[in-house]
Amino acid sequence: MNSILILTIVLYIALTHLIAQYIGSKRSIGYGRSILWSILFSPIIGLIITLSSKPVDTK
């Protein structure tokens, strides 16, 4: 039972990290803050918060 819990937590953190890395680096919220929101709430709520921030201008 403990190994399933540990595996679930590791997968949760990995999913959060991938979402934050891909989307957060292209937004004004940034990579670090998107990881913070994703870990604090959930990857889905972190995704919503990250997507609601303004995109970075590439000019």
pTM of the shown model: 0.71
Alpha helical stretches, state H, 1-59: 2-24, 30-40, 43-52
Give residue-wise pLDDT tens across range 5-58.
Answer: 999 988 988 888 888 888 888 899 888 888 888 888 887 888 889 889 999 887
Cα-based distances in Å from 30 to 7, 11, 20, 27, 42: 28, 22, 8, 6, 17
The answer to whether 18 and 43 have CB atoms below 8 angstroms apart is no
